[in-house]
């Protein structure tokens, strides 16, 4: 059995969805790379009793418990105090740490030109310098130190700050800490491979998996599948001994789904498209109506995308479609803004105005208003065009405005992927 | 004490961060509106023993446990089975339900043109029609039914599907179910108010809260604060009896922070900007380099934004800055693309080309590459310009490429907010 860690994410803002937790998933992936399995992530609000209950729950069945958040200077930041109590340790002021935090706060205050009263700052610093007896301190990246708090009865608790920009750099120190290393002594390599498929229904994937299991077995493989925005993901975790079984599974998926399998090496569709552009000299321009920049913005998520992304147009209003990418007003009158003709004119216009190899045009009804019986909410026309190839997609999407817009971006990326792949 | 619900989110894809959970937060907010408090959200992978442990953990201290996900046709979808086991109920095939699901699957298959083998489909349908004895069935929205599974010992478990597009419509049925209503009988109104502040440091907010507590008290108020992308959020929950105490707190915050308080009614900065545009006839055009469309895309997140968002430009490459919004090549040579001069030329160019009231230009070094000692990663120049007002911001941001780009968008929205507010 591999070493197992449990994670407690604190913060009423996370529990109520005002903030999306980015630490739990990040830690889960880091732990996996270390060969540590994550069993459960518990999200609790800034309440003493819920945090204590979560810590006690995870103490069973886990070798290390990690908390994130609740280390700030405000009174609702309770983590150090509650962890100390659950681990049976007394909190004491660490004067050296207090001085180091005070220096950090002073330099931040100076840099940002804040005029906070010194007593207010000092009180916050003192709160953040309280350390449970017997705990190891991890140097602060922002103003909050991390802590590793051992216990006579249960697993050690690793206390990390909430802001990802503080937690991530501190992780490097955390995994070198002797108490953390001792807790994770039982870790063993756990491999993870992902097969990504675009197109077939989930039930078809289920059947292929069932058949493979019956014929060849899935011994030693933990297979999970997930359907998200039309993309099917098959993620398999296994110990090195099961590599052969995994190779057979992957071969079976590739045999069953052929070209629909677009990635077996962990790359997302964004990365596949990036790599298809790389080194070819091909370039891209976009013209977006309902997605209003989200496609270009997503292409630019990957550093280095300036090698192919030249620019784009947000042609939200009809007059912008005409003014920016030269969609003839006649086309808009005859076919309406949401039509294959206009999507194509947008794609061509973007390509021609920026002199790129490819242009992509997107126009649709994202909703919730603006739908008609002929052109309902969720109808989107996409076109990708180069000098010698023009390809259309008509999408009929369900769900919210946000879902329609996000899914449209994914569809555009897959259309580009298919066309770039053909052209290789 | 109000009724309390606990939530179990299932799915290895959520636990490992490949998919962001959108159900836990959505349910937490729905429950709050019903007067039900959410104590904990537990995320578990698709593993029998972890799901069972989470259910048993939440059975203590909660009046209702809600699960999301794990109801699909694939073998890793275990929820109905594990819930039945924990609640002490036997699973039985419901033949009527099987027929109804089969009809839904047949119509979906026909609509999408899938050619899946009938036996594969039938097996998936049968799996989804297995119902724990004594449970209530909630009609499927997709293909998976919801379940309400009572227990002799502990709280009932409400089992909901994972896709938000299925879960959300089913919620209406769930809250009318007699077993769910009985579990939540103790609910009482819980109010929530949010004050949003832009500018001051968190420690200053902490001090104002401490002073107010010492002088006037926070009796009956559950106050949580959160700093996110420069925005400070103060969220307070309280029973109706504490409304007076809340009003005093809100007045104290407004008195302490004055114009830095930009919302006391729950509106986000996006909504405040939207409302400032509304009815004025003012319009907006964007020219984005490092954000590459994310600002325009975010303005268009709100339905009805076409009333002010005319369009925009993604001027990622330097030649696009010149070709699309007329940034003089001389300016690029003299000052570099990341400079206040170029940001201003972009803002003006966008405004002039689209004939809008306002133009916003954004140019910066998002990283991780491309930084120099003079212009490091995180340096961003933003400019908003109208016919009679031009305002600059220089940002020096920390964190990842993603963090720099997202924070830049927030800064642009606040710059627009301040300028539109002045102009009223």
| Each residue's pLDDT expressed in tens, for chain B with a length of 424 residues | 578 999 999 988 888 777 788 899 899 889 988 889 888 999 998 889 999 999 999 998 899 999 999 998 777 889 999 999 999 999 999 999 999 999 988 887 776 666 677 887 888 899 999 999 999 999 999 889 999 999 998 999 999 999 888 999 999 999 999 999 999 987 778 888 999 999 888 888 988 999 999 999 999 998 988 888 889 999 998 999 999 999 999 999 999 999 999 999 989 999 999 999 998 999 999 999 999 999 999 999 999 999 999 999 999 999 999 999 999 999 999 999 999 999 999 999 999 999 999 999 999 999 999 999 999 999 999 999 999 999 999 999 988 899 999 999 999 999 999 999 998 8
**Cα torsion through B415, A12, A135, A165, rounded to 10:** -30
Distance CA B108, CA B129 (A): 17
Question: What are the φ/ψ torsions at residue B143 (nearest 5 degrees)?
Answer: -115, -10
For B269, residues 6+ apart whose C-beta sits below 8 A from its C-beta are B196, B198, B231, B262, B263, B410, B413, B414, B417
User: Chain A interface, mutation test: which of B15, B44, B203, most A Cβ atoms within 10 Å?
Assistant: B203
Model pLDDT, residue B75: 76
Say which CATH topology domain A4-183 has.
Molybdenum Cofactor Biosythetic Enzyme; Chain A (3.40.980)
Residue B107 C-alpha, separation from nearest chain A C-alpha, in angstroms = 13
The two three-digit tokens of residue B72, written as one number:
């699909």
Q: What is the pLDDT of residues A15-55, one digit of tens each?
A: 877 778 889 989 988 998 888 988 899 999 888 999 999 99
| Strand B136-138 with B146-149, pairing | antiparallel
Sole residue written with tokens 């310009």: B385
Distance CA A292, CA B309 (A): 9
Terminal Cα distance for chain B, rounded: 46
Q: Do A235 and B304 touch (CB under 8 A)?
A: no
Of residues B154, B193, B168, the one with CA closest to residue B63: B154
DSSP string, A123-145: HHHHHHTEEETTPEEEPPSSSPP
Number of H helices, E strands in chain A: 16, 17
Q: Which CATH class is domain A191-266?
A: alpha beta
Report the 10 Å Cβ neighbour count for A172: 10
* Choice among A67-81, A103-117, A168-182 with the minimum mean pLDDT: A103-117
Q: How confident is the model at residue A95 (pLDDT cuts 50, 70, 90)?
A: very high
- pLDDT > 80? residue A114: no
Give the long-range contacts of residues B370-376, CB within 8 A, separation 24 or more: B375/B336, B375/B338
Of residues B313, B311, B309, the one with CA closest to residue B287: B313
Residue B390 C-alpha, separation from nearest chain A C-alpha, in angstroms = 23
Of A293, A310, A403, the CB nearest to B312: A293
Which residue intervals of chain A bear CATH 3.90.950.20? 270-422
Of B19, B203, B399, the CB nearest to A116: B203
- Let me know: does A359 contact A309? Beta carbons within 8 Å: no
CATH no., domain B270-422? 3.90.950.20
Model pLDDT, residue B100: 95
Q: Do B13 and A401 touch (CB under 8 A)?
A: no
DSSP string, B114-157: ----HHHHHHHHHHHTEEETTPEEEPPSSSPPEEEE--SSS-EE
Distance CA A124, CA A76 (A): 12
Q: Do B297 and A286 touch (CB under 8 A)?
A: no
Which residue intervals of chain A bear CATH 3.40.980.10? 4-183
Q: What percent of chain A has pLDDT over 70?
A: 98
Model pLDDT, residue B113: 66
Q: At what angle do helices B318-325 and A340-354 cross, to 10 degrees?
A: 110
Burial class of residue B281 in the structure, from the number of CB atoms within 10 Å of its CB (0-12 exposed, 13-18 middle, 19+ buried): exposed
Which residue intervals of chain B bear CATH 3.30.70.600? 191-266
Q: What is the pLDDT of residues A236-253, one digit of tens each?
A: 989 999 999 999 999 999
The CA-atom distances, in angstroms, between A159 and each of A137, A181, A382, B2, B225 are 9, 15, 48, 30, 19
- Let me know: does A253 contact A236? Beta carbons within 8 Å: no
Entry pTM: 0.83
- pLDDT > 60? residue A1: no
């Amino acid at each position: 059995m591999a070493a197992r860690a449990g994670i407690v994410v604190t913060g009423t803002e996370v529990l109520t969805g005002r903030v999306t937790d980015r630490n739990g998933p990040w830690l889960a992936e880091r732990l996996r790379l270390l060969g540590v399995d994550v069993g459960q992530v518990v999200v609790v609000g800034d309440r003493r009793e819920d945090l204590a209950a979560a810590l006690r729950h995870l103490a069973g069945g886990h070798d290390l418990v990690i908390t994130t958040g609740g280390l700030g200077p405000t009174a609702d930041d309770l983590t150090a105090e509650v962890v100390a109590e659950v681990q049976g340790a007394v909190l004491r002021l660490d004067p050296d740490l207090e001085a180091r935090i005070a220096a950090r706060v002073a330099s931040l205050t100076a840099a940002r030109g804040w005029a906070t009263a010194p007593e207010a700052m000092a009180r916050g610093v003192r709160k953040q310098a309280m350390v449970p007896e017997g705990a190891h301190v991890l140097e602060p990246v922002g103003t909050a130190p991390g802590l590793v708090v051992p216990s006579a009865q249960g697993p050690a608790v690793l206390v990390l700050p909430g802001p990802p920009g503080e937690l991530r750099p501190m992780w490097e120190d955390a995994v070198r800490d002797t108490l953390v290393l001792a807790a994770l002594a039982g870790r063993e390599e756990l491999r993870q491979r992902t097969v990504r498929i675009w197109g077939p229904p989930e039930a078809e994937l289920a059947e292929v998996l069932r058949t493979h299991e019956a014929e060849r077995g899935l011994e030693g493989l933990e297979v999970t599948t997930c359907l998200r925005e039309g993309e099917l993901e098959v993620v398999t975790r296994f110990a090195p001994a099961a590599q052969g079984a995994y190779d057979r599974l992957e071969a079976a998926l590739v045999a069953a789904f052929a070209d629909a399998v677009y990635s077996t090496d962990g790359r997302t569709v964004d990365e596949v498209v990036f790599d298809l552009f790389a080194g070819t000299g091909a370039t891209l321009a976009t013209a977006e109506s309902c997605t209003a920049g989200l496609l270009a913005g997503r292409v630019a998520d990957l550093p280095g995308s300036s090698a192919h992304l030249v620019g784009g147009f947000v042609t939200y209003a009809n007059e912008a479609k005409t003014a920016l990418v030269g969609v003839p007003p006649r086309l808009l009158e005859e076919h309406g803004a949401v039509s294959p003709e206009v999507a194509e004119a947008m794609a061509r216009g973007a390509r021609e105005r920026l002199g790129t190899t490819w242009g992509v045009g997107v126009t649709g009804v994202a909703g919730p208003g603006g739908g008609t019986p002929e052109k309902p909410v969720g109808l989107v026309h996409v076109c990708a065009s180069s000098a010698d190839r023009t390809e259309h997609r008509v999408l009929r999407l369900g769900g919210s405005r946000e879902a329609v817009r996000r899914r449209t971006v994914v569809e555009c990326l897959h259309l580009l992927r298919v066309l770039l792949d053909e052209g290789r």
